[in-house]
C-alpha cells in the first residue's frame, strides 16, 4: 500500500455554502489544517500552528491530528451533544495528547471549531491563535482567543464561544505567516486581513482563501517563504 502523508485533509461539502483551506506553496513549519464530518449536521475543523519545522514536528502534528479526529468523532457524533462542552473536552484531550507526545511543553496555537449546518453556527475554541474574522453585512468581527495555546500547561482550562453565520457571511482564518508577512519593516497584520475581507466579493471559500494569499504576495512584492502561509474559510451562501 502506498504511503500517504498523514497531514492530508479532505474538505467536505456543506449544503448551505462552502468550506476551503489553502497552503501557499510547500509547508516548511508546523501549520496544518484538518476537516472531519461528524454526522449529517456537523463538520469539525481546525487550523494548528505547532512550533518548529515540519520535519521535527511531524510526529507531534500526526498525534494531534489523530486525536483531533478520533476524539472529535466520539464527542460530537450524538445529535444530543452539547457542542460547547464537547469542544472544551476535545481541547483538553488534544492538549493532553500533544504534551504526552512531546514529552513536555510544546506550544501550538490552534483554532478548533464545529460548524452546525442545521443552526448555521460555529462553536469554537481559539487557543492563542490569530483571530478568526467574520464578515457580516456591515462589519468584520474578530473571534479572539478563548484559551491559551495548546501544549503549555497540562491543567489549563479553556473556554468556548459561538458565532452565527447569516446568509452571505464569510469566516476567514489566517495563519501567523500571513499576519507576520513583511515588506521592509511594515507588517501585513490582522488589520490588512480585515480590510481584505471587508472589500472582497468572492462567492466561495476557496476563492476567499486564494485571494488573501495573492494579496499577501502582492504586499510583500515576492513569494512568502518566511513561514507557512495558510488560509481557511467558511462561506454561508444561503
Q: Is-contact 229 24, C-beta < 8 A?
A: yes
pLDDT in tens, 61-77: 899 999 999 999 999 99
Q: How far is CA 92 from the centre of its chain?
A: 17
What's the whole-number average pLDDT of the chain? 90
pLDDT in tens, 123-163: 999 999 999 999 987 899 999 999 999 999 988 889 999 99
Per-residue model confidence (pLDDT) at position 222: 79
**3 state DSSP class of 50:** strand
pTM listed for this prediction: 0.93
Closest C-alpha among 152, 137, 53 to residue 94: 152
Q: State what percent of residues in the chain have pLDDT above 90.
A: 72
Which of residues 78 and 8 earns the better pLDDT score? 78
* Joined grid coordinates for residue 69: 479526529
Pairing of the two strands 121-127 and 132-135: unpaired
The CATH class of 17-236 is: alpha beta
CA angle 226/231/232 to nearest 5° reads 155
Amino acid at each position: 500500500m502506498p504511503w500517504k502523508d498523514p497531514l492530508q485533509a479532505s474538505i467536505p461539502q456543506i449544503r448551505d455554502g462552502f468550506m476551503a483551506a489553502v497552503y501557499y506553496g510547500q509547508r516548511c513549519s508546523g501549520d496544518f489544517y484538518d476537516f472531519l464530518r461528524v454526522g449529517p449536521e456537523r463538520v469539525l475543523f481546525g487550523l494548528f500552528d505547532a512550533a518548529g519545522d515540519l520535519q521535527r514536528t511531524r510526529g507531534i502534528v500526526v498525534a494531534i491530528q489523530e486525536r483531533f479526529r478520533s476524539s472529535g468523532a466520539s464527542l460530537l457524533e450524538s445529535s444530543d451533544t452539547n457542542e460547547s462542552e464537547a469542544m472544551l473536552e476535545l481541547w483538553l484531550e488534544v492538549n493532553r495528547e500533544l504534551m504526552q507526545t512531546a514529552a513536555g511543553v510544546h506550544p501550538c496555537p490552534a483554532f478548533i471549531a464545529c460548524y452546525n449546518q442545521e443552526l448555521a453556527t460555529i462553536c469554537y475554541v481559539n487557543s492563542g491563535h490569530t483571530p478568526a474574522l467574520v464578515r457580516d453585512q456591515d462589519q468584520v468581527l474578530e473571534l479572539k482567543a478563548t484559551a491559551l495555546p495548546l501544549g503549555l500547561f497540562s491543567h489549563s482550562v479553556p473556554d468556548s464561544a459561538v458565532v452565527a453565520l447569516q446568509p452571505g457571511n464569510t469566516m476567514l482564518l489566517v495563519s501567523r505567516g500571513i499576519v507576520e508577512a513583511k515588506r521592509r519593516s511594515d507588517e501585513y497584520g490582522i488589520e490588512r486581513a480585515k480590510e481584505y475581507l471587508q472589500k472582497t466579493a468572492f462567492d466561495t471559500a476557496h476563492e476567499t482563501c486564494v485571494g488573501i494569499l495573492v494579496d499577501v504576495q502582492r504586499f510583500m512584492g515576492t513569494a512568502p517563504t518566511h513561514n507557512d502561509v495558510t488560509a481557511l474559510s467558511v462561506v454561508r451562501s444561503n
